[in-house]
Structures are given as structure tokens and as C-alpha cells.
């Protein structure tokens, strides 16, 4: 658990580290998108404002696309731009560029589009409650015994809803495209998570008009959380088309208002859970789960999010009779996409709330009921994958101990008898499978490259980006610590698709788990191959061998066998585990929930860098607590959001004390960390509110307006 300081800490503090809007190129012009202000309809006419010289503007539409007008995705159904029927508010219609950014924004604002409006679905419940609104492949995990429930078993049936969630990264989406006609190269500078995804997108839209697209990230990426996984491909495609047509470098950096309105968000969900519980054994014997996601207007990444959500939907409980059904639903809103947790936070928000509902109905303490049902060695996931460790139970035991859960339970019970304001305490558990689902990592076949220079500097080439999470520090650390090499002589290079092999995207809690562990293994392999004890001394003595390049591919463990059609087998080789206890104070007069403290215990295996890991965990926990407490779009109609005055992010005044502890750190491998802190905190807030008031609310977040409306119905 060494605490190596982030290599980019100082340049970020002194302002020398470049983010996308800090880059400039000779003769560069500025671009923006003209997008639909209609949820669904036909474009009748585009009226450009008068008193502008249109010859000064570069304008591209779908008719200018030399390649394909479809963004490459797991499901290729989203156009880069539309010229006839628009399917959602925020859909791209034109790309427009001009040397003067202020004038460009004014021109776009004054451009008016006439539509023939068509029926549209923009309300989450209208989208998700209609069983005829399904599109895409249905997923099922069928582990049913065929036996009918015992009539004496306790029956619970509930529907839970979660909303959109905004990634709220510090830096809006941005791209710079530089057309190089001599070499027929389209160079793109990107703030993105997945450079090779962007490369595929640019090469799709440009087709044979270019020889190659080269994608290089900016030095700094101001946050992403999944929001810069898929949308950058669309933005880079339009930016490249503008550069190609104008013959000049083009920069597009979205205004915050536009970023909120048109980019991908967390999928809203409707999760219906029906359970039958043996009251004597205190065991859930049978469960049916209907897991629904609002995909937006196009499927794009949604089937992958659906898969992970379905695979995590049972939470951490062993239930012998299980049936899980997962479906996507269409709405006339921008396509929803990747967000930290990737379908799992919705699953835990429902199941962890449902566990407390069952416990309350049977008059059992929520902790004791969890202990009766929690995964243990010898149990199985619904996919038949065996449980090989009791680490989830260990996390729960430790967090109960740290939080003085039972003592507080009694203290709050006495307090609440005599006070109008209430105190509450709630539990939740969670887990997250590391890496791509099932056979994904095998298909990806990630490759890393290392170049050792004549001065013994080690240059690491990976496609995984550092978007503020410290990945390039910890990846380098895993390499140089393995062979005891000086940290200042081991550097991760800026991802560039012409120099960097495809080590896969920066998603799915795979950066440290897959690529970091691969680099560590690679370091030992190089040491064995060259037979050195000290790399610096070896390089000095063998100058004629350097610089020298080494490459290595990830090889999937043969035990990972997964049936993608029937969802049977090993979905993820390794899991990170977690448990949480959250304490709240409920203000009866204002219907507000104040977060007092959150205790979180996680098993993420070997901790590479204690400070970076703790920072990641604290940030993720706060994001998860906000998902349960305050974050959602207040105004109806998705496209009517204007900024953070309409979206309640937690501030420092809302920040509770967050306690994080990692256990089982003697593990030989570092497991996934990035996503699991987001997975489980939201239901702990909801469960704490129930503990404080005796009231169950089955829709997130628990904002004062929702609590007030619920109380008025009682």
C-alpha cells in the first residue's frame, strides 16, 4: 500500500497541464452542433438568420458524409446526423464552424428549424410501464426449480424506480480534428475514455476519404465517469467532417448547457421484484425479477449495460429458485449510455431496498436477515458460477462493527420516541465483477507495449486513459515496483492510436484489474528474459541492445467459460465486494434528509496506492449517496434542462463524514475499484430513512418534494 504521488499533481496545480480547450492549432476555427429542439418529428425547413455571410461558415449535414452515417456501437443504430426524421431532443442535424466562437454561438441560437411534430415518449414511467415499448434482445437467467411456492411463505411484490443521473464531469465534451490532406490522415485530439472507439467512429464517418484516423488524448481529461465512453465517437465524427470540408483544424467544446441536454446519462430503471420467503428459516426461497432500462432513442451501448445489470440484480444473496428478465425500452430522449456502475447501481437500489421491505414485513432485523441469506462458499450465482469466498460477509461484519450499528439502532429508537426530527441508520451491500462480461476480455485480446530507452527510461504504451482517477500513476507503479525500478524512470505515455497498441477501453473496472496486473506480470517476464537484477545496470552494460521494444497480450484464464446465449457460467472471474452503513438525520419541518456519516468496507484485493484508492472510494460513495438523495432532473421533458441550477449536486455543505476501509488486502491481485463505490450507497440512504420514519419510498432519489407527496398520501 505505497502512496506514490500522482505524477500530474504539480502540473495540474500550476496550470501547465493541458485540457482540450487549452490546445490550439494554426488557422483553427470553432465548431458546434445544431441539434433538434423537437422530441420527435420531421424537419420541414431550416431557417438561417439574416445579416450573416453564410460563405464565412462551414456547414455539414448528413449529405456531406463520405462514409457511413452510423456511429459504431455494440448495436449500430444511431446516426451521426439526421436530415429528415428526428427521434429525440438533442439529436444532431448540422455541424457548423466559424473562426469567431461567439459569433458562431449567436448564429446557431438564431437559427430556427420548423418541424412537423410527432408523438413522443419523454416521461420515464410512460416509457418503462408499457410492455409493448420493448426493443432489442431480451435477456433471461432461468434458474427455476419448477416447484410452486409454499402457501405459508411470506410473499412480497414491489416495483422500484430510479432516474437519469448526470455524470457532471468537470470538463465538458470536446474534440479537435486536424485534416492532413497530404497524408490523408485525420488527426483528432480527444477528451475521451476510449481512443480506439473514437478511431473507429471517425473512420466510419469518413470512409475512403481518409487513409487513417489517429486519435490522441489531451494531457488532462477532466472527469468522465462513463460519459466519455461512447458520445465522443459521435462528436469526433462531426468535428472531423467539419475539418475535412473546411480544410482547417476545428475545435468543438460543448457549452455546459448543451452537454447536459444532449449527452448520454445513466439509464432510468423500473425493477419489479417478487419474492417468497420461508418465515421459519428466514430464507428467500424464490425470486422473480423484471429489470427494465430506458435506453433512449437508440440502443447503442444499452445491451451491454443491461447485461451487467441483470447479472448483478440479485444482489449478494443465495436464492435457490431464480428467474431474472432484462429488457430495454425506447423513449424519445438522447440515448443513455455508460455511467460508473454500468447497470449495477439500479439493481442494488432495488434489491437492497427490497431486502429491508421483507425484513420489516417479517419483523426481522435487516442485518440479521442479510446474514441469513448472504453469499457463502458453496453457494452459486444465478448463472451457476460458484461462490469461492466469504468476503462479502466479511465486509458486512466489519462495517457493522465499525459503525456501532446495534448501539446506534437502540439510541435512535429512543431518540425518535420523543423528537419530531428523526435519526436513522441503514445497511446495504454490493459487489462488482471486474473486466468485460463473460468472454469479452478474451475477444478484446488487450495488448500492451513497453520501450526501454538507452538511459533505462521505461515508456509504457497503453490505450487506457487517465481522466483524473490516477490511472497512469498506478499503472506505472505496478510496473516499477515489480522490478524495483526508479519511479521517475517509468512513465505511461499519452495514448495515441498510431503508437499505442489496443489495450482496450477505460471502462468496466478493468484498467488496474486487467491492464495493471498484465503490466506487473510483463515486468517480471522482461526481467526473466533479460536476466537482470538491476535494470539500470543492465542497460548501462548492454547499450547496443537499446532502445528495445517489448509487447504482451492479455490471456484469459481458461476457467472463465460463459454461455452468452443462455447466461450460464462464469460471468466475471473476480469480484470486488462491499458493505455500507449510512446514518441520517431527518428534518420533519422541511422534509429534508441530512447525511451524517457513511461507513464503507470494501474488498478490492491488493491495494496499489492507498491514497488514490481512498480518494476513488470516497468520490464514488458520495456519487452513490447523491444518487439516492438528491440527483435527478426536476423539470419534466428531458430536453428542458439548463444547467446545475436545475440539477441538485451535493455541495461541501451536504458532504457527510465518509469512512472507507479496505480488507483482504493481502490478495495477490488488485481487483476492480472504479465502479463498486457507486453501486451500493443509494439504498443505504433509503433504508436509513425507513429506519427513522417507518416509511418506505420505492422511487429514488428521496428529495423533500417526493417525501412530502408520499406523506400526504398516508
% of the chain beyond a pLDDT of 90: 95
Q: Are residues 483 and 543 in the same domain?
A: yes
Domain end residue (candidates: 253, 272, 296): 253
Range in 11-15, 353-357, 368-372 the model is least confident about: 11-15
Q: Please indicate, yes or no, whether residues 423 and 447 belong to a single structural domain of this protein.
A: no
What value does the mean pLDDT take over residues 81-96? 97
Range 433-448 burial, b when 16+ CB lie within 10 A, else e: bbbbbbbbbbebebbb
**DSSP assignment letter at 513:** I
Per residue in 190-215, pLDDT (tens digit) is 999 999 999 999 999 999 999 999 99
CA 506 to chain centre: 10
Let me know: does 404 contact 583? Beta carbons within 8 Å: no
Question: Does 569 score more than 90 pLDDT?
Answer: yes
Mark which of 488, 518, 553 sits at the end of a domain.
553
Residues 549 and 681 in one domain: no
Is 389 inside any structural domain? yes
Rounded to whole angstroms, the Cα distance separating 578 from 616 reads 14
Q: Are residues 497 and 634 in the same domain?
A: no
What is the pLDDT, as a whole number, of residue 1? 52
Query: Given this model, what pLDDT does residue 327 score?
Result: 98
Query: Coil, strand or helix: which one is 548?
Result: strand
H or E segment and range at residue 412: helix 405-418
Range of the domain at 232: 25-119+173-253
Smallest CA-to-CA distance from 135 within 186, 87, 207 is with: 87
Cα dist. 582→306, 432, 578, 656 in Å? 28, 20, 13, 9
For residues 595 and 707, state if they share a domain. yes
pLDDT at 635 over 70: no
CA distance 148 to 276: 10
In the sheet that 458-461 helps form, which strands lie side by side, from edge to edge? 490-492, 458-461, 447-452, 548-553
Identify any residues that bridge with 284 across adjacent strands, giving them in sequence order. Answer: 277
Whether 562 is covered by a domain: the verdict is no
Q: Is residue 321 part of a domain?
A: no
Dist CA 701 CA 595 (whole Å): 13
- Does residue 98 surpass a pLDDT of 70? yes
Last residue of a domain, one of 238, 253, 268: 253
Rounded-to-integer distance, Cα 598 and Cα 117, Å? 48
DSSP-H helix ranges across 556-652: 610-629
Count of structural domains, the chain:
3
- Residue owning grid cell 526501454: 452
Q: How many CA atoms lie within 13 A of 407 on its CB side?
A: 5
For the four alpha carbons of 292, 296, 298 and 302, in that order, the dihedral sign comes to negative
In a domain, 167, yes or no: no
Residue 640: pLDDT over 90: no
pLDDT tens digit string along 15-41?
999 999 999 999 999 999 999 999 999
Residue 292 host element (H or E): strand 283-296
Q: Would residue 282 count as lying in a domain?
A: no
In a domain, 620, yes or no: yes
Read off φ and ψ for residue 592, nearest 5 degrees. Answer: -100, 145
Cα angle, residue 327 at apex, residues 323 and 329 outer, rounded to 5°? 155
φ and ψ at residue 23, rounded to 5 degrees: -90, 145
Q: What is the mean pLDDT of the chain?
A: 96
What is the pLDDT confidence band of residue 643, given thresholds at 50, 70 and 90?
confident
**pLDDT tens column, 99-138:** 999 999 999 999 999 999 999 999 999 999 999 999 999 9
Residues 369 and 472 placed together within one structural domain of the fold: no
Sign of torsion over alpha carbons 417, 420, 421, 422 = positive
Quote the CA–CA distance of 570 and 381 in Å, as a whole number.
9
| pLDDT of 274 above 70 | yes
Residues 445 and 481 in one domain: yes
Q: How confident is the model at residue 633 (pLDDT cuts 50, 70, 90)?
A: confident
> Each residue of 127-183: pLDDT tens digit?
999 999 999 999 999 999 999 999 999 999 999 999 999 999 999 999 999 999 999
Residues 430 and 459 in one domain: no
Strand order, beta sheet including 422-433: 422-433, 575-587, 592-603, 657-662
d(CA 136, CA 301): 11
Question: Average pLDDT in the 391-411 region?
Answer: 98
Give the span between the Cα atoms of 520 and 503, in whole angstroms. Answer: 15
**In this predicted structure, what is the pLDDT of residue 644?**
83
pLDDT tens digit sequence for 210-247: 999 999 999 999 999 999 999 999 999 999 999 999 99
What are 189's strand-pairing partners? Answer: 176, 216
- In 331-486, beta strands by DSSP E: 422-433, 447-452, 458-461
Statement to judge: residues 393 and 477 lie in one domain: no
* Dihedral sign, Cα of residue 104, residue 109, residue 110, residue 114: positive
Q: What cell was used for 32?
A: 458546434
- Please state, in angstroms and rounded to a whole number, the distance separating the CA atoms of residues 50 and 63: 24
- For residue 327, the cross-strand partners are 292
pLDDT at 3: 82
Return the CATH number at 79.
Answer: 3.90.1170.50
Residue 637 reports pLDDT greater than 70: no
Identify the CA nearest to 259 among candidates 331, 182, 191, 199.
Answer: 191
Q: Is residue 547 a contact partner of residue 710, using CB atoms and an 8 Å limit? A: no
**Structural domain includes residue 269:** no
CA distances from 149 to 69, 205, 363 (A): 52, 55, 21
Which phi and psi (to 5°) does residue 307 adopt?
Answer: -60, -50
CB 634 within 8 A of CB 647: yes
In-domain check, residue 694: yes
Cβ neighbours of residue 512 under 8 Å, at least 6 residues apart? Answer: 471, 474, 475, 478, 608, 670, 672, 673
Confidence check: pLDDT of 589 > 90: yes
What span, in angstroms and rounded, lies between the C-alpha atoms of 291 and 313?
A: 8
Distances (CA, A) of 466 to 4, 84, 475, 505, 596: 16, 39, 10, 11, 32
Calculate mean pLDDT across residues 593-608.
Answer: 98
CA angle 150/151/155 to nearest 5° reads 90
List C-alpha distances in Å: 162 to 57, 267, 275, 295, 623: 43, 8, 20, 13, 14
> Would you say residue 642 has pLDDT above 70?
no
For residue 700, the domain's CATH number is 3.30.365.10
Q: State the virtual CA torsion across 471, 476, 479, 484 in degrees, nearest 10.
A: -140
Give the C-alpha separation, 304 to 295, whole Å: 11
Are residues 411 and 471 located together in one domain of the fold?
no
Mean pLDDT for the stretch of residues 61-84: 97
What confidence score (pLDDT) does residue 333 get? 94
- Are 214 and 462 within 8 A, CB to CB? no
3-state secondary structure (DSSP) of residue 274: strand
Question: How many whole angstroms separate alpha carbon 192 and alpha carbon 173?
Answer: 8
Residues 419 and 537 in one domain: no
Biggest distance spanned by C-alpha atoms of the chain: 82
Amino acid at each position: 500500500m505505497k502512496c506514490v504521488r500522482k505524477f500530474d499533481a504539480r502540473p495540474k496545480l500550476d496550470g501547465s497541464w493541458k485540457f482540450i480547450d487549452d490546445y490550439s492549432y494554426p488557422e483553427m476555427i470553432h465548431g458546434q452542433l445544431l441539434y433538434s429542439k423537437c422530441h420527435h418529428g420531421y424537419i420541414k425547413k431550416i431557417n438561417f438568420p439574416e445579416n450573416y455571410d453564410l460563405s464565412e461558415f462551414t456547414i455539414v449535414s448528413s449529405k456531406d458524409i463520405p462514409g457511413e452515417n452510423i456511429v459504431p456501437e455494440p448495436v449500430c443504430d444511431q446516426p451521426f446526423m439526421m436530415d429528415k426524421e428526428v427521434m429525440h431532443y438533442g439529436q444532431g442535424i448540422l455541424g457548423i464552424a466559424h473562426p469567431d466562437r461567439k459569433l458562431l454561438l449567436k448564429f446557431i441560437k438564431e437559427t430556427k428549424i420548423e418541424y412537423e411534430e410527432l408523438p413522443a415518449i419523454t416521461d420515464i414511467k410512460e416509457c418503462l410501464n408499457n410492455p409493448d415499448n420493448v426493443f432489442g434482445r431480451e435477456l433471461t437467467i432461468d434458474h427455476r426449480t419448477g416447484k410452486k411456492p409454499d402457501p405459508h411463505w411470506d410473499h412480497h411484490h414491489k416495483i422500484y424506480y430510479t432516474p437519469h443521473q448526470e455524470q457532471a464531469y468537470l470538463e465538458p465534451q470536446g474534440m479537435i480534428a486536424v485534416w492532413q490532406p497530404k497524408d490523408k490522415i485525420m488527426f483528432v485530439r480527444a477528451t475521451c475514455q476510449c481512443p480506439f472507439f473514437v478511431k473507429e467512429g471517425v473512420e466510419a464517418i469518413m470512409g475512403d476519404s481518409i487513409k487513417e484516423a489517429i486519435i490522441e488524448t489531451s494531457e488532462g481529461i477532466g472527469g468522465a465517469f462513463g460519459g466519455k465512453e461512447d458520445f465522443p465517437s459521435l462528436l469526433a465524427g462531426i468535428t472531423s467532417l467539419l475539418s475535412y470540408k473546411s480544410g482547417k483544424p476545428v475545435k468543438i467544446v460543448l457549452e455546459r448547457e448543451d452537454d447536459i441536454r444532449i449527452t448520454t446519462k445513466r439509464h432510468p430503471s423500473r425493477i419489479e421484484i417478487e419474492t417468497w420467503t420461508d418465515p421459519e428459516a428466514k430464507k428467500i426461497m424464490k425470486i422473480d425479477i423484471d429489470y427494465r432500462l430506458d435506453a433512449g432513442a437508440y440502443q447503442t451501448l444499452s445491451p451491454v449495460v443491461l447485461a451487467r445489470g441483470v447479472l448483478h440484480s440479485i444482489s449478494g444473496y443465495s436464492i435457490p429458485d431464480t428467474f431474472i428478465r432484462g429488457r430495454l425500452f425506447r423513449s424519445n430522449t438522447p440515448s443513455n449510455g455508460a455511467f460508473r456502475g454500468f447497470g449495477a447501481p439500479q439493481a442494488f437500489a432495488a434489491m437492497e431496498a427490497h431486502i429491508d421491505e421483507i425484513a420489516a414485513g417479517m419483523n426481522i432485523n435487516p442485518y440479521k436477515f442479510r446474514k441469513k441469506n448472504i453469499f457463502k462458499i458453496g453457494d452459486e450465482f444465478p448463472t451457476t458460477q460458484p461462490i469461492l469466498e466469504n468476503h462479502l460477509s466479511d465486509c458486512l461484519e466489519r462495517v457493522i462493527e465499525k459503525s456501532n450499528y446495534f448501539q446506534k439502532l437502540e439510541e435512535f429508537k429512543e431518540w425518535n420516541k420523543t423528537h419530531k426530527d428523526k435519526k436513522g441508520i441503514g445497511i446495504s451491500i454490493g459487489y462488482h465483477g471486474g473486466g468485460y462480461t463473460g468472454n469479452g476480455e478474451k475477444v478484446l485480446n488487450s495488448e500492451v507495449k513497453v520501450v526501454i530507452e538507452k538511459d533505462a527510461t521505461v515508456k509504457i504504451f497503453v490505450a487506457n486513459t487517465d481522466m483524473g482517477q490516477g490511472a497512469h500513476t498506478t499503472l506505472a507503479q505496478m510496473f516499477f515496483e515489480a522490478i524495483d525500478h526508479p519511479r521517475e524512470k517509468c512513465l505511461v505515455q499519452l495514448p495515441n492510436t498510431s503508437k499505442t497498441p489496443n489495450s482496450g477501453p477505460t471502462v468496466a473496472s478493468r484498467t488496474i484489474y486487467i491492464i495493471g496486473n498484465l503490466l506487473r506480470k510483463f515486468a517480471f517476464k522482461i526481467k526473466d528474459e533479460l536476466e537482470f537484477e538491476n535494470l539500470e545496470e543492465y542497460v548501462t552494460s548492454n547499450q547496443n541492445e537499446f532502445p528495445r521494444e517489448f509487447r504482451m497480450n492479455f490471456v484469459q484464464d481458461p476457467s472463465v467459460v460463459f454461455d452468452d446465449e443462455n447466461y450460464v457460467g462464469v460471468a466475471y472471474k473476480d469480484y470486488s465486494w462491499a458493505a455500507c452503513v449510512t446514518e441520517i438525520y431527518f428534518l420533519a419541518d422541511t422534509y429534508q434528509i441530512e447525511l451524517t456519516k457513511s461507513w464503507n468496507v470494501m474488498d478490492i484485493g491488493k491495494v496499489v496506492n492507498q491514497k488514490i484508492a481512498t480518494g476513488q472510494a470516497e468520490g464514488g460513495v458520495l456519487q452513490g449517496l447523491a444518487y439516492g438523495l438528491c440527483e435527478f432532473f426536476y423539470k419534466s421533458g428531458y430536453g428542458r434542462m439548463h444547467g446545475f441550477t436545475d440539477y441538485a449536486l451535493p455541495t461541501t455543505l451536504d458532504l457527510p463524514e465518509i469512512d472507507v476501509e479496505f480488507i483482504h488486502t493481502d490478495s495477490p491481485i488488485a481487483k476492480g475499484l472504479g465502479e463498486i463505490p457507486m453501486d451500493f450507497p443509494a439504498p443505504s440512504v433509503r433504508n436509513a430513512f425507513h429506519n427513522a420514519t417507518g416509511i418506505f419510498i420505492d422511487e429514488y432519489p428521496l428529495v423533500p418534494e417526493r417525501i412530502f407527496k408520499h406523506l400526504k398520501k398516508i
